Structure 1
Amino acid sequence: MSAVDRPFAPAGDDAVLPFAVEALDLRGRVVRLGPAIDTILGRHHYPPAVSRLLAEAVALTALIGTSMKFEGRFILQTQSDGPVSMLVVDFDAPDAVRACARFDAGAVAEAVAAGRDRPEDLLGRGHLAMTVDQGAHMSRYQGIVELDGRSLEEAAHGYFLQSEQIPTRVRLAVAEVLTRDPGHEPQRGWRAGGLFLQFLPDSSERTGHRDLHPGDAPAGTAASVEEDDAWVEAQSLAGTIEDDELIDPAVGAETLLYRLFHERGVRVFEPQPLVERCRCSRDSVKAMIASFSPAERLDMVENGRIGVTCEFCSTHYDFDPQEFETE
């Protein structure tokens, strides 16, 4: 094919577009986040550096979560010693996402002032966990990879190499952009985008690549495995993408794929929409409070009420302690 084969309507914002480049044995996804990520970040009023990092995590979660054919949840979580000590992104299949972050405001401000506001600087050292939860009657699966001064992109590469041994590349981009609609004042809003590529040839022998650990060879020795030419080409093409192409509302996912792979031909599949939606409810919060002992609930009382604020959506729930008294 010389262009994008598009049997569906354009993906647009807040959607993941799966695609295949059969000539290069590639499978991939493009995510474009607009109103959904702006709503998530707008609820929290995080410092811009924290917002950018959390938006990257949401884009990465959307790319991975929508690739899994299951009913349940996919959870991406970091725990680290950096200024941003925790990121949590919860993807509830098939389309709902929510997210939050924990951070030291003073440490973030110092890092930004010193020019150490890259994702790897803010995360520091710790680990990235990816959990698949298919419900109460199914086993949970969790994969963990170190955060040792690496960005989320680099950690994702390590995760797929370690857990699935699939050559994978991820590109993520985030920015706060200014939009101008005719007859309206300019508006600022967050946007995020990402590209996810995996090399999946029929022959497993073709998937060897230079990221493989050299084993017992002397320190500093690189692996001698040569990468497949198709995968080398795919990575080279992915490296030509500019960040603004991943987030520009005027550059659709299909247009981006055409720019990258028009010489090889690319086939797209039905877009998968995404929505910002929290799983909390008054009933679920009430059940959680009821699970505590009377003494513990007494410690929760302030000014005669029990108040709980959801970390994900910032919704505040207020209860009368007498609601939990048993006869």
Structure 2
Amino acid sequence: MLGSKIAWDDTVLPFQLDASDIRGRVVRLDGVLDTILSQHAYPPEIEALVAEMALLTAMIGQTMKLRWKLSLQVRGDGPARLIATDYYAPTAEGEPARIRAYASYDANRLLPRVDPFSQIGKGYFAILIDQGKGTTPYQGITPISGGSLSACAETYFAQSEQLPSRFATTFGRSQLAGGPESWRAGGVMLQKMPKASPFAPKDEADDDGLLRAKDILNEDDFEDWNRANILLDSVEDMELIGPQIHPTDLLVRLFHEDRPRVFDPQSVEFGCNCSEERVRNSLSIYSAKDIAHMTTDDGVVTADCQFCGAHYVLDPKTVGFEAGDDTDGDAD
């Protein structure tokens, strides 16, 4: 195994607990997370937020249909201003999905050795789903709450989808014997499957106005859900990310009495859809006067992709809505 990729790294394994009507996903990320975090020299607090967000994106994104795009965003008024991720579903069966992530933060306001989540402050957690051309993107928003990004996602699903959800995640730098240090991350997502019932959920929010699992499940369903959560509470970090523990073995260890059933895994890789054409389109709303203000002393317009670090250099005469049809001066 030394020096080689572990078979289940950078994969999402969907599963179902047949005895309790619970579905879920197990995710392992290594190369994807390494690539995402290597794009910027983030401080540790921001690295932790980006790593957790990438895990959530991989688990939630696995349900996206072919060619759909899932975006997660967290915006706050604290030092961590923005955490944004995108999940691009495969364009065809058998192809990998693609993930990218980016963070914006105020380095002068960051508090060292303080819980990363607290540095978001007040704000919102949003999920956006783009089904492609000719469709209206879906957007759902919930306020920042709980003590982690995972808790925000759980609140979102309870509020917006009426789906009790639970996330267990862990991440950090690790090193296999004889190998280089690298990022590894792992997580498990549980979700109570909806089913037809003559009994309506209680639908009563807690004191903070937000719904929780107990507010939207009847007594029998809540018993199954509570048992699964207790079992998930017993998982150890090394079980989530350890190279010796296959995801299927982890499911059997945790939920063998609930008859876990796995489906085909989905591989994921780092991927960005930025391009010169997209940069030109984004600049097409500006006049020649605006473009002149963006032009550097070297006589060019530059743009950088915050997700992948791509650098674009454009001739100012060829961008903006007054550029005309002359596009001889493409990017270097």
TM range, smaller chain: 0.7 to 0.9
Call closer, same or farther: CA 1:149–1:321 in 2, change over 3 Å. same
Q: Tell me if the contact between 1:199 and 1:207 (Cα under 8 Å) persists in the aligned partners.
A: no
1:5 corresponds in structure 2 to: none
1:19 to 9, 15, 29: 15
Q: Tell me if the contact between 2:302 and 2:312 (Cα under 8 Å) persists in the aligned partners.
A: yes
Q: Tell me if the contact between 1:175 and 1:247 (Cα under 8 Å) persists in the aligned partners.
A: no
Q: Shift in Å at residue 155 of structure 1?
A: 0.8
Please tell me whether residue 233 in structure 1 is matched to residue 227 in structure 2: yes
Q: TM-score, normalised by structure 2?
A: 0.84
| Secondary structure class of the residue paired with 2:154 | helix
2:132 to 135, 148, 151: 135
d(CA) in 1 for partners of 2:158, 2:124: 15
Structural mapping, 1:67-86, within 5 Å: 67-69=63-65, 71-86=67-82
1:254 corresponds in structure 2 to: 248
Structure 2 residue identity aligned to 1:96: R
| Secondary structure class of the residue paired with 2:205 | coil
2:329 corresponds in structure 1 to: none
| Secondary structure class of the residue paired with 1:154 | helix
Q: Tell me if the contact between 1:84 and 1:104 (Cα under 8 Å) persists in the aligned partners.
A: yes
Q: Tell me if the contact between 2:46 and 2:116 (Cα under 8 Å) persists in the aligned partners.
A: no
May I ask how many residue pairs the two structures share in their alignment?
303
Q: CA offsets, 1:244-265, max 9 Å, x none?
A: 3222222221221121122332
1:278 to 272, 289, 293: 272
Q: Tell me if the contact between 1:201 and 1:207 (Cα under 8 Å) persists in the aligned partners.
A: no
Q: TM-score, normalised by structure 1?
A: 0.85
Q: Tell me if the contact between 1:17 and 1:268 (Cα under 8 Å) persists in the aligned partners.
A: yes
Please tell me whether residue 195 in structure 1 is matched to residue 188 in structure 2: yes
Call closer, same or farther: CA 1:203–1:228 in 2, change over 3 Å. farther
5+ residue gaps, structure 1, are: 1-9
d(CA) in 1 for partners of 2:152, 2:204: 15
Q: Shift in Å at residue 212 of structure 1?
A: 4.3
1:306 to 301, 307, 310: 301
Q: Tell me if the contact between 1:206 and 1:228 (Cα under 8 Å) persists in the aligned partners.
A: no
Q: Shift in Å at residue 297 of structure 1?
A: 0.9
Q: Shift in Å at residue 284 of structure 1?
A: 2.0
5+ residue gaps, structure 2, are: 1-5, 91-96, 327-332
1:41 to 37, 40, 57: 37
Identical aligned residues as a percent = 38
| Secondary structure class of the residue paired with 2:144 | strand
| Secondary structure class of the residue paired with 1:142 | strand
d(CA) in 1 for partners of 2:232, 2:249: 14
Structure 1 residue identity aligned to 2:52: E
1:56 to 37, 52, 55: 52
1:295 to 289, 298, 315: 289
Q: Tell me if the contact between 1:72 and 1:134 (Cα under 8 Å) persists in the aligned partners.
A: yes
Structure 1 residue identity aligned to 2:185: A
Q: Shift in Å at residue 87 of structure 1?
A: 0.6
Q: Shift in Å at residue 130 of structure 1?
A: 0.3
Q: CA offsets, 1:16-42, max 9 Å, x none?
A: 100011012111101110101100101
Q: Shift in Å at residue 55 of structure 1?
A: 1.1
Q: Tell me if the contact between 1:34 and 1:192 (Cα under 8 Å) persists in the aligned partners.
A: yes
| Secondary structure class of the residue paired with 1:174 | strand
Structure 1 residue identity aligned to 2:315: D
Structure 2 residue identity aligned to 1:282: E
RMSD: 2.5
2:168 corresponds in structure 1 to: 171
Q: CA offsets, 1:93-126, max 9 Å, x none?
A: 1211111000111222xx22xx32242x122210
| Secondary structure class of the residue paired with 1:302 | coil
Structure 2 residue identity aligned to 1:180: A
Q: Tell me if the contact between 1:123 and 1:149 (Cα under 8 Å) persists in the aligned partners.
A: no
Q: Which has the higher contact order (CA 8 A, sep 6+)?
A: 1
2:311 to 294, 312, 316: 316
Call closer, same or farther: CA 1:101–1:207 in 2, change over 3 Å. farther
| Secondary structure class of the residue paired with 1:100 | strand
2:94 corresponds in structure 1 to: none
d(CA) in 1 for partners of 2:275, 2:78: 32
| Secondary structure class of the residue paired with 2:306 | coil
2:205 to 193, 201, 213: 213
